[in-house]
Amino acid sequence: MSTLKSSAENLTLNADGSNNDVIIQSNGSTIVTVDGSAAAVGVGIVAPLASLHIYHATTNNVLRLESGDASAGLEFKDNSTSNLPSIYNATDDLIFSTGGAERLRIPAAGGLTFNGDTAAANALDDYEEGTWTPGFNGGAAPEASAASATYVKVGTMVTCYLMWWGFTGSAVAAQITGCPFTSKAGTYVTGTLGANTWTTNGAGCWGYTAATIRIQDCVNLNEATGIVGYPKYISMAITYQTT
């Protein structure tokens, strides 16, 4: 027999019998189900699949945690947890904490900050990878195979990679153009040549801006001029800051 009884200040709602459910309805529609066989609570669903299962047919935000204090959050614990990890808010920011300390914050303005840093200027707000189309300046257009050119952008730092081979044209001073982002004013572009057969001397690369990257002969300290008629290739990595 199902019972509803009070004892002192406790109220007990009991569905008597093995695996029976406690059901709360409104106007004949089930609102809450306490599944006796699964020891689970379903809100808006009659067969909960977890200890707490919340469902709504049309509303996307189905759970709100609200505190009258400075933040509201969730803590996580298993059978060996000694310092509870948590996810909580501070004003409009979302914070992830482990070991009793903030590790990651998603500010309301966007981006990511780490280990308690709240400065907007330090927020990591972009990551992307892609390809770019390099150009070649400095003389007659060389005969060359298609370049292999990719980039990685993390925040405002851009690293471009380039492999271009098969040059057989006239000797020209090598200048690479076409970097995917404009460089920040007042900064320089630096790079390294992983390998090259453009010059018999060693070579480096640099630029006043990302618009033109110059390949510099390490011996003559000028823009490297290619060896006439020699099949050449250039492999480089270019790093610079954008806005």
Domains and CATH numbers, the chain: 3-54 (no CATH), 73-125 (no CATH), 129-241 (2.60.40)
What confidence category does residue 77 fall into, taking pLDDT thresholds of 50, 70 and 90? very high
| Cβ atoms of residues 120 and 106 within 8 Å | no
pLDDT over 90 (residue 164): no
- pLDDT for residue 202: 73
Q: What is the mean pLDDT of residues 26-38?
A: 92
Count other C-beta atoms under 10 Å from residue 197's C-beta. 16
**CA separation for the pair 136, 202 (Å, rounded):** 20
- pLDDT for residue 1: 57
- pLDDT for residue 206: 86
- pLDDT for residue 197: 72
pLDDT over 60 (residue 139): no
Q: What is the largest CA-CA distance in the chain?
A: 101
Mean pLDDT of the chain: 87
For 191-208, what is each residue's pLDDT tens digit? 888 766 767 777 788 899
What confidence category does residue 3 fall into, taking pLDDT thresholds of 50, 70 and 90? low
pLDDT over 70 (residue 86): yes
Q: What is the mean pLDDT of residues 74-100?
A: 95
Whole-structure pTM value? 0.73
Edge-first strand listing for the sheet containing 175-177 = 127-131, 148-154, 157-167, 232-241, 189-196, 203-207, 212-217, 175-177, 135-137
pLDDT over 60 (residue 49): yes
